[in-house]
């Protein structure tokens, strides 16, 4: 409920008998900021120089949901909102988060940026800090200005400029702008997430293969053929072959990297259109790769630079950016002509030759001091990944084909334009700061923030210094992948130094089993996606979304519900063969491997490799079919 007097700018918003927000807690002011950027990482020092009572104008945009437009004075560059928090209040949101679900007590910026390497207090984080690429607990490719409280309210800030958040005794939202709109949500967490999906969620159609097994390959046609042959030999159901180096390769000190000039490599990928057709007849789809960069001095870079399509420095020269080790120009997505040109590149060089999908990488690197065609870089930085998603969306829409693309970066509105996201670049280790465990909070927080289709690189991506995959790490990662919307491998930035799905027989056997388990769930996954579309809720979700009455569900961040009926508690530590699992009370749960039934509460179960802790609700309509199939798979693999 809102009581509003626009003539005096006096108002208060009351939710569930609590005065949540009022004109007494609305401020404006001026701030100064210093930002240092290095390889997509941003070190922010912000100082609020002046804070005064709000003197601008207010307008109610809508009443359901309640949306208020705030316009401060032109001399101000900050809007500050304050909400007093209750002692036992829990706050979720902030977009994709790798380390925390409950953000209470935290202070952080909302700025699209690299996730960062290490992100913790270990040696790899120290070394990454020395190189300027260390992340922090809050750094994320996909922040969002949306927050949900367990006290029955939520807030969405409709703004693209950065926001400083503090969620201590008082929730403070410092918006780097003199205007914004704020949506206030009301109800249970489930109600508010559903409303958020209604406003910002996208509607996409998915074919069965998009929920299947996607294997990565690099090196050309012959390498891809070998991967396909290996999959067939080992009974691995293969739905897509993903060749990120389809446009060529470049070797750097970071490892083997893609040549960023978006047309197929006539040498390594000779006759690619013909092979795509051949593979599709076998039921195998071809996935590629693209990002909004163009490698310096490449054919497309020269064309884009000539036409003024690249982001510029203040002196008008091209703003070449070192992403890893080589310079590249970044497409100016504020320029309508550049936007349309890049769409034509996707249509002409990718869709027209039969490519069925791609990784649409990056979106975080727009320098804040860059010169754009139609916007300031500070105002456009968080909007950049949204426009990058829209560009891909429109390119696909203009074709008549069923295509999937997946992104890591985003901000408010990205979910309207992208059918699939992945969790970015995790370290190939077990660390809770940047390794395997982080993909679980990433999936859960993304689900709360409007993402239906979320997945990750099986095995992790970032291999630096001594960090290399181990067989156990890869297998445990594959187990999480088996119980997620799609199983997709990645070969890391150093493929020759890391374990792959086909490195040795025990890994192949394990991956084959997990892939067959995953494929046996495709009909279940499809129905859960249909339910998600109908009910406007995520597919991968935290336990408290379905079991809010169980207090332990609110504290569990390393388990998840896969749809409404399957609970997954992956093994996230090296060497563990038993695992402790929390089962929400009020249900009976069947352990899919032993097929024993458990009541709710904490249980400890055996979890050898190949048998990750997974349960299904006893009264699920899918339980009989799924358990029967699991028994058959167990007998086949011994």
Distance CA 413, CA 615 (A): 34
Distance CA 635, CA 638 (A): 5
The Cα-based distances of 24 to 119, 182, 499 in angstroms read 38, 16, 58
Check 268, 356, 361, 565 and give the catalytic one: 361
Establish whether 364 is a catalytic residue.
yes
Distance CA 548, CA 384 (A): 36
Distance CA 563, CA 239 (A): 22
Beta bridge partners of 566: 562, 616
Check 425, 502, 550, 587 and give the catalytic one: 425
Establish whether 281 is a catalytic residue.
no
Establish whether 96 is a catalytic residue.
no
Report the Cα 259 to chain-centroid distance in Å: 24
Distance CA 485, CA 199 (A): 23
Q: Is 229 exposed, middle or buried (0-12, 13-18, 19+ CB in 10 A)?
A: exposed
State the Rg of the chain over Cα: 24
Beta bridge partners of 371: 312, 376
Residue 276: its H or E element: helix 272-281
Identify the three-state secondary structure at position 605: strand
The Cα-based distances of 565 to 88, 97, 416 in angstroms read 30, 24, 27
Question: What's 182-239 look like in SS3?
Answer: EEEEECCHHHHHHHHHHHHCCCCCCCHHHHCEEEECCCCHHHHHHHHHHHHHCCCCCC
Distance CA 633, CA 595 (A): 13
Distance CA 311, CA 567 (A): 46
Distance CA 503, CA 515 (A): 16
Instruction: Work out the number of other CB atoms within 10 angstroms of the CB of residue 44.
Output: 16
DSSP 17-53: TEEEEEGGGEEEEEEEEEEEEETTEEEEEEEEEEEEE
Instruction: Tally the C-alpha atoms within 13 A of residue 231's C-alpha that lie toward its C-beta.
Output: 24
Q: Evaluate whether 71 touches 128 at the Cβ level (below 8 Å).
A: no
Check 96, 245, 364, 502 and give the catalytic one: 364
Distance CA 603, CA 609 (A): 19
Distance CA 536, CA 198 (A): 6
Question: C-alpha dihedral over 271, 277, 281, 285, to 10 degrees?
Answer: 100
Residue numbers annotated as active site: 361, 364, 425
């Amino acid at each position: 409920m809102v009581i509003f007097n626009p003539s005096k700018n006096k108002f208060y918003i009351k939710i569930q008998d609590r005065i949540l927000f009022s004109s007494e807690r609305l401020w404006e002011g001026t701030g100064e900021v210093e930002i240092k950027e290095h390889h997509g990482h941003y070190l922010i020092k912000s100082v609020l120089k002046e804070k005064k009572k709000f003197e601008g104008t207010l307008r109610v945009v809508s009443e359901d949901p309640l949306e208020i437009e705030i316009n401060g004075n032109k001399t101000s560059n900050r809007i500050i909102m304050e909400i007093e928090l209750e002692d036992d209040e829990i706050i979720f949101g902030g977009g994709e988060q790798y380390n925390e679900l409950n953000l209470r007590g935290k202070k952080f910026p909302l700025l699209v940026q690299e996730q960062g390497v290490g992100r913790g207090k270990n040696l790899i984080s120290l070394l990454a800090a020395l190189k300027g690429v260390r992340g922090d607990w809050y750094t994320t490719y996909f922040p969002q200005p949306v927050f949900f409280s367990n006290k029955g309210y939520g807030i969405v800030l409709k703004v693209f400029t950065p926001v400083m958040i503090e969620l201590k005794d008082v929730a403070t939202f410092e918006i780097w702008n003199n205007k914004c709109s704020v949506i206030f949500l009301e109800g249970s967490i489930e109600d508010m997430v559903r409303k958020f999906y209604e406003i910002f969620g996208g509607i996409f159609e998915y074919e069965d293969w998009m929920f299947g097994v996607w294997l990565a390959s690099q090196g050309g046609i012959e390498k891809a053929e070998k991967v396909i042959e290996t999959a067939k030999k080992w009974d691995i159901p293969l739905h897509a072959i993903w060749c990120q180096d389809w446009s060529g390769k470049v070797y750097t000190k970071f490892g083997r990297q893609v040549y960023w000039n978006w047309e197929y490599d006539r040498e390594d990928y000779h006759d690619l259109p013909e092979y795509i057709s051949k593979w599709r007849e076998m039921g195998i789809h071809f996935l590629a790769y693209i990002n909004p960069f163009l490698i310096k001095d490449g054919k497309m870079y020269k064309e884009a630079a000539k036409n003024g399509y690249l982001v510029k420095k203040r002196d008008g020269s091209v703003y070449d950016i070192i992403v890893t080790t080589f310079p590249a120009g970044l497409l100016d997505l504020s320029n309508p002509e550049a936007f349309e040109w890049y769409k034509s590149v996707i249509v002409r060089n990718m869709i027209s030759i039969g490519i069925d999908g791609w990784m649409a990488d990056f979106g975080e690197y727009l320098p804040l001091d860059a010169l754009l065609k139609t916007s300031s870089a500070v105002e456009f930085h968080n909007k950049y990944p949204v426009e990058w998603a829209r560009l891909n969306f429109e390119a696909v829409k203009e074709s008549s084909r069923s295509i999937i693309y997946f992104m890591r970066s985003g901000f408010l509105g990205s979910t309207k334009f992208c059918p699939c996201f992945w969790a970015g670049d995790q370290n190939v280790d077990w660390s809770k700061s940047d390794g395997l465990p982080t993909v679980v909070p990433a999936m859960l927080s993304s689900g709360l923030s409007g993402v239906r289709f979320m997945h990750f690189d099986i095995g992790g991506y970032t291999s630096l210094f001594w960090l290399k995959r181990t067989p156990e790490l890869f297998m445990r990662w594959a187990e999480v992948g088996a119980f997620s919307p799609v199983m997709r491998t990645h070969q890391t930035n150093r493929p020759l130094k890391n374990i792959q799905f086909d490195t040795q027989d025990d890994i192949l056997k394990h991956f084959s089993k997990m892939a067959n388990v995953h494929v046996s769930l495709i009909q279940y996954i499809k129905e859960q996606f249909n339910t998600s579309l109908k009910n406007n809720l995520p597919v991968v979700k935290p336990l408290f979304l379905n079991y809010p009455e169980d207090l332990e569900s609110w504290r569990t961040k390393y388990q998840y519900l896969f749809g409404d009926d399957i609970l997954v508690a992956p093994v996230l530590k090296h060497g563990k063969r038993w695992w402790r699992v929390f089962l929400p009370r009020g249900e009976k749960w069947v352990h899919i491997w032993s097929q024993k039934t458990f009541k709710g509460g904490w249980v400890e179960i055996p979890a050898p490799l190949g048998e990750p802790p997974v349960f299904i609700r006893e009264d699920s309509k899918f339980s009989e079919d799924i358990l029967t199939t699991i028994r058959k798979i167990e007998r086949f693999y011994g």
